């Protein structure tokens, strides 16, 4: 069967999900089981996968969903624990002391604090932590979710201490070894050197939209959630936005060029956060007039969810600001200590593994859960327990926090089980008796055939497709890095630039990937709004790809036409 026909069939499950969620506004709890069913039918009838293989892949997907659900639950537990201990009101009071301007708060928390969390932990942690924090400050839940998802793009390629590059590109080892045997003038001497080269290119490509992204998002915020529905109201914060971009991107780029792929987002977020909070307190580059959402009585129905948003009021601290922030400080500290490879904690936590190999006898279908290494357990749940002591919480408050957290998990559990099961069927479809490429690869190959020499412009969108399908920049790179490298070789263009575009595309795809959207929706109490979020977030994602794709064309054919 022609690859183009296979690609069209492979698109059906994605089309089902998009039509139901975006077009008909079905909740993911109803849409994703039907999308999974479409993928299963395609696998059996077209890819000729045995029915047992489909069932095994589905079970593996359920196991993968547990990883995500543990993170989501931990994030929700932290939110409710801080709510019931009184710490959240104290934190809100502190942020209002910096600025009551929602645009400034979005940049500080969504962009800068989120970048630090992404660099330390990844796995959807930034949106899961930052979105509830914005919610507690008075943001509409839908606005909090959209802001944090869109901002969680620039730092993602270096998330979890460089995981998308170090692990996502690992399958390129044979090609890199072969290239090094034929030439000694590639600019790197081994696979570790190749990772660093990709980190440099990816950081430069991310930096281009990174200078405008913070401002675009606040304009997006004022346009869709402001009383006046005005893009121009967001422009009032352009000085502070540029200040934030420079404060983050300078250490971000410096770290990528001088150190490597592990710490650009972490160091950029940490240094940038310190600079802009200090600057905001001193009034540097702050807008002349403060901007806020209108009263809740004027909000659209789809802005709110099951968790109440506080009306604008005077927050009263119930404890010292240091004591209130201690849980977040502990989270950041523990994330760093348990993610860097030169300390033993990472190995200790990851050594505890619950696995099920060769599910139903199929060699390629496996489940592995490292419960202690998941940020939902360490540090989220761990810090939630420590907070009980630090904040002197009473038993009834602790019970309320954990009970509410359990209740919040019903909807995301159903949606994520079937979303991740669909992904696993997609991945396992490469193992078929007909010799067909996997479902994602058929879509990528068809796109490449249509694009031809303009491929550098479209390469990042393939990475975004991978993230949309799989929910992970790392898995997107695993799926498509060999394909991207091969296309660059066939076209005789820079392999390192094309692979970097894949890495960047996988990051920008986080804005619209169903996994992250379901997860962050759960943390802010939104149910059934996944399609609305996808429809809104696809605009900044397409613009992000337009910027990096244009840069890819210029770098490939104009500035660096002969580079490996």
pLDDT digits (tens, 9 = 90+) for 47-56: 999 999 999 9
Q: What integer best gives the mean pLDDT of the chain? A: 89
Average pLDDT on 181-199 reads 89
Give the position of tokens 């630039």. Answer: 497
* Helix orientation angle between 495-508 and 473-491, rounded to the nearest 10 degrees: 150
Q: Please state the pTM of the whole predicted model.
A: 0.80
Burial of 412 (0-12, 13-18, 19+ CB in 10 A): buried
pLDDT the model gives residue 123: 65
Confidence of residue 307 (pLDDT cuts 50, 70, 90): low
Average pLDDT on 390-409 reads 91
Tokens at 291, concatenated: 């901007």
Average pLDDT on 398-411 reads 87
Average pLDDT on 429-433 reads 87
pLDDT the model gives residue 310: 57
Annotated domain spans of the chain: 3-296+323-559
Tokens at 62, concatenated: 């359920």
Percent of the chain at pLDDT above 70? 98
Average pLDDT on 519-536 reads 85
- Cβ within 8 Å of residue 298, ≥6 positions away: 227
Position 70 pLDDT exceeds 60: yes
Q: How many Å apart are CA 529 and CA 304, to the nearest integer?
A: 10
- What stretch of H or E contains 6? helix 3-18
Position 148 pLDDT exceeds 60: yes
Under 8 Å between Cβ of 504 and 202: yes
Average pLDDT on 239-260 reads 96
pLDDT per residue as tens digits for the range 272-293: 999 999 999 999 999 989 999 9
β-strand pairing of 354-356 with 367-369: antiparallel
Average pLDDT on 53-73 reads 88
Of 430, 459, 434, nearest to 444 (Cα)? 459
- Cβ within 8 Å of residue 480, ≥6 positions away: 440, 441, 444, 462, 463, 466, 502
Beta bridge partners of 354: 369
More confident residue, 122 or 146: 146
Average pLDDT on 345-351 reads 89
Dihedral, CA of residue 111, residue 114, residue 116 and residue 119, to nearest 10: -110
More confident residue, 71 or 122: 71
Position 326 pLDDT exceeds 80: yes
pLDDT the model gives residue 309: 65
Q: Which long-range contacts (CB under 8 A, 24 or more apart) does 370-377 make?
A: 371/70, 373/338, 373/346, 373/349, 374/67, 374/70, 374/71, 374/74, 374/123, 375/71, 375/74, 375/121, 375/123, 375/125, 375/335, 376/69, 376/70, 376/71, 376/72, 376/73, 376/74, 376/75, 377/70, 377/74
Position 312 pLDDT exceeds 50: no
pLDDT the model gives residue 314: 61
- Chain centroid, CA 545 distance in Å: 16
- Region of poorest pLDDT, from 167-171, 192-196, 249-253, 268-272: 167-171
């Amino acid at each position: 069967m022609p690859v183009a026909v296979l690609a069209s069939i492979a698109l059906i499950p994605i089309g089902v999900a998009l039509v139901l969620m975006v077009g008909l506004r079905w909740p993911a709890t109803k849409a994703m089981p039907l999308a999974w069913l479409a993928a299963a039918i395609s696998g059996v009838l077209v890819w000729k996968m045995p029915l047992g293989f489909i069932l095994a892949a589905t079970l593996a997907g359920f196991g993968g969903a547990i990883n995500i659900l543990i993170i989501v639950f931990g994030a929700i537990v932290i939110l409710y624990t801080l709510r019931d201990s009184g710490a959240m009101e104290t934190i809100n009071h502190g942020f209002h002391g910096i600025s009551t301007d929602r645009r400034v708060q979005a940049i500080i928390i969504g962009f800068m604090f989120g970048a630090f969390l992404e660099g330390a932990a990844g796995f959807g942690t930034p949106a899961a932590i930052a979105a509830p924090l914005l919610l507690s400050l008075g943001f509409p839940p839908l606005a909090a979710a959209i802001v944090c998802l869109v901002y969680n793009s620039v730092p993602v390629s270096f998330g979890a201490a460089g995981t998308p590059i170090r692990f996502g590109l690992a399958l390129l080892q044979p090609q890199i070894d072969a290239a090094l045997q034929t030439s000694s003038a590639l600019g790197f001497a081994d696979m570790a050197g190749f990772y660093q080269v990709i980190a440099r290119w990816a950081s430069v490509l991310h930096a281009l939209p990174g200078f405008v992204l913070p401002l675009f998002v606040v304009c997006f915020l004022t346009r869709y959630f402001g009383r006046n529905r005005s893009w121009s109201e967001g422009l009032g914060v352009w000085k502070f936005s540029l200040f934030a971009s420079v404060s983050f991107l300078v250490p971000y780029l410096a770290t990528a060029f001088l150190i490597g792929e592990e710490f650009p987002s972490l160091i950029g977020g940490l240094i940038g956060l310190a600079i802009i909070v200090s600057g905001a307190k001193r009034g540097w580059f702050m807008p002349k007039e403060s901007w806020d959402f209108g009263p809740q009585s004027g909000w659209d129905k789809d802005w709110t969810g099951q968790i109440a948003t506080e009306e604008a009021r005077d927050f009263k601290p119930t404890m010292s600001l240091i004591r209130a922030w201690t849980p977040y400080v502990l989270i950041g500290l523990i994330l760093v200590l348990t993610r860097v490879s030169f300390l033993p904690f990472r190995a200790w936590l990851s050594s505890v593994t619950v696995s099920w190999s060769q599910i139903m006898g199929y060699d390629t279908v496996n489940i592995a859960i490292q419960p202690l290494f998941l940020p939902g357990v360490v540090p989220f749940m761990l810090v939630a327990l420590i907070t009980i002591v630090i904040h002197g919480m009473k038993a009834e408050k602790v019970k309320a926090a954990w009970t509410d957290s359990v209740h919040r998990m019903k909807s995301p559990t159903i949606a994520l089980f079937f979303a991740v099961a669909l992904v696993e069927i997609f991945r396992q479809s490469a193992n078929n008796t007909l010799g067909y490429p996997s479902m994602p690869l058929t879509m990528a190959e068809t796109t490449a055939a249509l694009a031809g020499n303009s491929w550098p412009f479209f390469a990042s969108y393939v990475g975004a497709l991978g993230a949309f399908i799989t929910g992970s920049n790392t898995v997107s790179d695993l799926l498509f890095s060999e394909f991207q490298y091969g296309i660059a070789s066939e076209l005789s263009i820079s392999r390192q630039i094309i692979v970097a575009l894949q890495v960047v595309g996988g990051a920008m795809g986080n804005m619209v990937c169903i996994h992250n959207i379901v997860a962050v929706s759960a943390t802010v109490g939104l149910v059934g709004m996944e399609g609305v979020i996808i429809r809104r977030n696809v605009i900044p994602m397409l613009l992000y790809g337009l910027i990096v794709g244009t840069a890819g064309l210029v770098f490939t054919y104009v500035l660096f036409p002969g580079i490996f």
